[in-house]
Structure 1
Amino acid sequence: METRKLMRVLMFTLCLSAMSGLMFNFVLPDMREEFSLSTAQVSWVTSSYSLLYGIGTVLYGKLTERYQLKNLLSFGLLLFAAGSLVGLVSQAFWMVLAARCLQAIGAAAIPAAATLIPIRYFPPERRGAAMATAFIGLSIGSALGPVVSSLVAGFAHWRWLFSIPLLILITLPFYRKYLKDEDPQFPGSFDLLGGGLLAVAITCLLLGITNGIWWLPLAGLLVAALFIVRIHRASVPFVSPVLFRNQEYSVRLVIMFLFSGAAFALHFLSPLLLAEIHALPPGWIGFVMVPAAAASALLGKTGGKLADAKGNTDLFLTAMIMLVACFVLLSTFSAISAVAVALFLILGNVGQTFGMIALSNSVSLSLAKEQAGIGMGLMQMLNFISAGIASGVYGTMLDIRSEVSWNPLYAYAEGQVYSNIYLVLAGLLLAMLMFYSLRFGKTEHGHIRAAGS
C-alpha cells in the first residue's frame, strides 16, 4: 500500500517537473520584450535549464551511491522551490536566469528518484507498471504545461508561472515518510575530477550543437577522451569501466539514445509545423497537442502492465510500430489539417511512452544493484544529449528547406521539408525495429540477467 502511495507522489512530482520544464518556453517573447533582449539572449532561460538538468541527472545518480535517496531528493526539492521563489520576485533578467538555474539543479534530483524508486521498491515482475506510473506523470505535465502557460500569460504576468512549481513542497513530507533509511553503497571517496570532466564534455557538446559553434563539440569529444582515460586509471572512478562491458546495458543505451532523438521530433517539429503550415497561434498549438499527451497518460499504465505480462521486447516492438505509423502518416498527410496532426500525434506519443517504459525497464534489469544509480543516471543524461543533438539536426534540416517531396504520396504545395524529415525518421525507426527484433526478440518476456547479479 505504501509503495502505491509513493508512486502517486512521484507521479505528481514528475508532473510538476515536466510542467516547469515546458511552461517558460511559451513566454520567451514576453521576457524578450520586457528586458529588451535578443532572441539568443533570452533563449538562455531554456538552454541553461536543459544543460544543468542533463548534467545533474547523472551526478545525482552517482551521489545515490554515497547518500540516502531520501536526503538527496529532499535537498533537490527544496532547491527547486528556492529557485521558484527567486523567479517569483525577480525584477531583472539575471534573477530570472538564476532562478531557472536553481530550479534545474534542484529538479535534476527527480529523474534519479523516478528511476531508482521502481528499482529499489518493486520486484522485477512489477517494475514495468511502476515505471509506467512515473511516465504518466510526465505525460500529464507535458499536456498541462503549454495550456497552463497560455492561461497564466493570458490573465497575469508571466512571473506567476514560478508559483506553480512551489506546489512541489507538498510532496516533501510524503517522501520523508515513505522512503526508507538506506545505508550508502560506497561511502568512500568521490571522483570529483571524473565527474567534472564528464560535466565539461556534456556542456561543450550541448552548447556547441544548440548554438552552432563547431569547435565546441570537438572540444567536448577531447574532454570525453580524457574522461575515459580517467575512469580507467582512478582507483574509485566516477563510472566503472565494468559498466560498459555489460553488453546488454551498452546496446540498450545506444538504442535509447537513437529512439529518444527520433521521438523528440514529435515535440520539436510539431509546434513548428502547426505554426508554419497551419498558421496556428501559440495558445492553440498547445491545445492541439493536449490530446496526444492525455492519451499517453491514460494508456501509460496499460503499457506498464503489458511490459510485466508480455515482456519489454514485445512492448518496445509495439511502440516502434506505432511510431513508424505516426511518422508515415505525418509524412503523407501533415498538411491536410491541424485536426489530422492531433490524431496522428496520439499514435506517436503513446508509442513514445510505451517505448520509454520498455527501454527504461529493460535497462534497469540489465544492471547489477550496485550499478543502478550511475547506470540509470547515464541513461537519463543520454536522453537529454539526444534531444539536444536532435533539435540541432532538425533545425538545420528546416533551414535547408526543400521544394521536392521524397514521399510520392505527399500531394500538398507546402511543407515538403517536414514530410521529408518524417519519412527519414520512419525509415530509421524501421531499421531499429529490425535490429531490435533480431537482437532481443528471443529474450523471454524481456527479462535480462543483470551483470554481476
Structure 2
Amino acid sequence: MQSNSASAAPLEGAFSETQTVSFDLKKTVPWILFVIFFGVLNETVFNVSTPKIAEQYALQPSGVSWVVTSFILTFGIGSVIYGKLSDMISLKKLITIGMLIYNVASLLGFALQASYPLVIAARALQGAGAAAIPALIMVIIVRYFRVEDRGKVFGMLNSTAAFSVGVGPVIGGFISSRLHWSLLFLLPLFTLIAIAFFRRVLPDEAPKPGKVDIPGAVLLALGLGLLILYLTDTRPYYLIVSLALLLWFGLHIRRAEEPFIDPSLFAKRKFIRGVLAGFILFCTVMGIMFVIPLMLNGVHGLSTGAIGWILFPGAISAVVFGTVGGTLADRRGNPFVVYVGLGLLTASLVLMSALAGQTPWLTSGALLLTYVGFSFIQTALANSVSQTLAPEETGVGMGLFNLVGFLSGAVGTALVGKVLDKRLLDFSLLPTVTLPSAFLYSNLPLVFAVVILLGGAVYTSAYRRG
C-alpha cells in the first residue's frame, strides 16, 4: 500500500540512532525532482552545441569533446566522494555546499567564455558541484524513506533524470541556435531556490568522526580520468598508466585505515553483480542513444533540431512510465520490473533494426519502448542495489553505483564509435533493410539486443528471488 508520507527509520550507522525525521512525499518529492532535472541536464545540454564551440575556438572534435568529458569525469568521481562524505558530514551541509559550487562554476563559465581552457575548468568545477545532487538525493531516499516507498520515489527520480537527459539536446540546440551557447552555463541558477527547502527539511545530523582518504580519492580520480582519456584518444600509454593507478588504488584501500571505498563492498556478491549488470545495461543504452542521432543524420540527413524532436516523445514517455515502474517495483518486486524493462528494450531494438532506413518517425516510435524500458530498469536496479547495503554503506555504495553508470556511458559511446569508424557491421543482413547507408545502423541494434540479454542474465544470477 502506498502512503503520502514517509517516516524514516531511526538514523543508523553514521549518525545518532535516536534521531528521526518525517518527510511528506507530496511536498518533498517535487523539490527532489526539480533539482535532479537541473543536476542531470548538464550531462547532455552542451552536446549539440559542440560544433558551434569548435567553430568559435577553432578546435578539432577530439578537443571540443572535453566540454562534455570534463563534466562527466568530475561528476562521476564527485558522486563517490559525496557519498563517502555523507557518512561523516550532515546531508544538509553537503548538499548546500555542492549546489553552491555548481552555481558559482556556472557563473564563472559564462563570465570566462573568452578562454577555452577556462571554459573547460568551469565545466569540471560544474561537475564537481552537480555531483552532489544525484549522489545525495539517493542517500536521502535510502536513509530517510521507508522501503515500501522507495520504489515509487526511485521511479519518479529516474524518469525525471531520463527526461532531463532526453530534453537536454532540445534545450541546448534551441538556445545555441537562437541565442549563444554560453547561456547554457546559466541554466543551473534555477537550483538556488531549492537550497532553502533542503536546509529546512533535512535534520541537523551529528557527524561521525572520520577522515577522507585523500590519496585513495586522487588515485581513483586519476586512474578513471586517464581511462576516459584513453577512450577518447586511444594512445596505449593512457591505458597502461590508468590500469597501474587503479591497481595501486586497489592495493591502497586494503592497507588504509579508513579507505575511500571499503574493500568489504567488493565482497558483497549481490551488490557487485547488481553494479556489473548496471554497467552492461547502461553501457548498451548509452551506445544506443549515441548511435541514433548519427543514424538520423547519416541515413535521413536530419538537422540537429529535427533530431531533438525525434528523441523528444521518448523522453516525455519516460516521465510517465518511470513512476509506473516504481509503483510496480513496490507491488510486484524489482526483478519483475527489470524483466519487463528488458523485454521492452529488446523489442525496441528489434524494431529499430527492422525499420532502419524507413521514415524517421517509425524510429521515434521504437524509441518510446527504449526510453520506457530503460526507465523501468534504472528504477528497479537502483532499488535492488540499495537493498543490499547496510545503512552505513549507503553513501559510498550508491555513489559507486552512480560512478559506474557514468563510466558506462563513456565506454558505450567509445565502443560504438570504434564500430562506426571501422564499419565492422556494414553489410546486408535483414531483408526489410534495402538502403545501403542503413545496413550498419540496422545490424548494430541486434548486437545491442544480445548484450542487453547478457546484462539481464547477470542481474538474474543475483536477484531472481527479489
The question of a shared fold, defined as TM-score above 0.5 by the shorter chain, is answered with yes
Given that 1:6 and 1:175 are in contact with CA atoms closer than 8 Å, whether structure 2 keeps it comes out as no
Find 2:46's aligned residue among 7, 24, 31.
24
**Correspondence for 2:177:** 154
Partner letter of residue 218 of structure 2?
Answer: G
Given that 2:269 and 2:462 are in contact with CA atoms closer than 8 Å, whether structure 1 keeps it comes out as no
**Correspondence for 1:178:** 201
Q: Give the percent of matched residue pairs that are identical in Structure 1 and Structure 2.
A: 33
**Correspondence for 2:168:** 145
**Correspondence for 2:132:** 109
Partners of 2:406 and 2:256 in 1: how far apart? 27
Partners of 1:308 and 1:290 in 2: how far apart? 28
Partner letter of residue 243 of structure 1?
Answer: L
2:241 is paired with a residue of what secondary structure?
helix
**Correspondence for 2:421:** 399
Of 282-291 and 328-337, the range deviating more from structure 2 = 328-337
Find 2:448's aligned residue among 425, 432, 443.
425
**Correspondence for 2:438:** 415
What is the aligned residue count?
442
Q: Is 1:309 the equivalent of 2:331?
A: yes
Q: C-alpha deviations, 1:348-405, integer Å up to 9, x for none?
A: 1110111011110000000011111111111111111111111110000001114313
Partners of 1:250 and 1:235 in 2: how far apart? 23
Given that 1:331 and 1:423 are in contact with CA atoms closer than 8 Å, whether structure 2 keeps it comes out as yes
Q: Is 1:356 the equivalent of 2:378?
A: yes
Distance 1:176 1:306, change over 3 A: same
Given that 2:153 and 2:326 are in contact with CA atoms closer than 8 Å, whether structure 1 keeps it comes out as yes
Of 237-246 and 168-177, the range deviating more from structure 2 = 237-246
Q: C-alpha deviations, 1:156-203, integer Å up to 9, x for none?
A: 122222222111101111111111222234x22322111221112111
Q: Is 1:92 the equivalent of 2:141?
A: no
Distance 1:19 1:440, change over 3 A: closer
Q: C-alpha deviations, 1:228-276, integer Å up to 9, x for none?
A: 1111111222221211111111111111111111111232111111111
Find 1:374's aligned residue among 386, 393, 396.
396
Find 2:229's aligned residue among 204, 207, 231.
207
Find 2:59's aligned residue among 31, 37, 50.
37
Partners of 2:61 and 2:287 in 1: how far apart? 22
Q: How does 1:13-412 map to 2 (within 5 A)?
A: 13-90=35-112, 91-185=114-208, 187-401=209-423, 402-407=425-430, 409-412=432-435
Partner letter of residue 313 of structure 2?
Answer: P
Partner letter of residue 239 of structure 2?
Answer: P
Given that 1:307 and 1:358 are in contact with CA atoms closer than 8 Å, whether structure 2 keeps it comes out as yes
Shift of 1:34: 1.9
Structure 1 residues not aligned, in runs of 5+:
447-453
Partner letter of residue 189 of structure 1?
Answer: K
Partner letter of residue 378 of structure 1?
Answer: L
**Correspondence for 1:449:** none
Given that 1:78 and 1:106 are in contact with CA atoms closer than 8 Å, whether structure 2 keeps it comes out as yes
Partners of 1:435 and 1:52 in 2: how far apart? 28
Partner letter of residue 440 of structure 1?
Answer: Y
2:300 is paired with a residue of what secondary structure?
coil
Structure 2 residues not aligned, in runs of 5+:
6-22
What value does the CA root-mean-square deviation take over the aligned residues? 1.6
1:414 is paired with a residue of what secondary structure?
helix
**Correspondence for 2:14:** none
Partners of 2:219 and 2:24 in 1: how far apart? 37
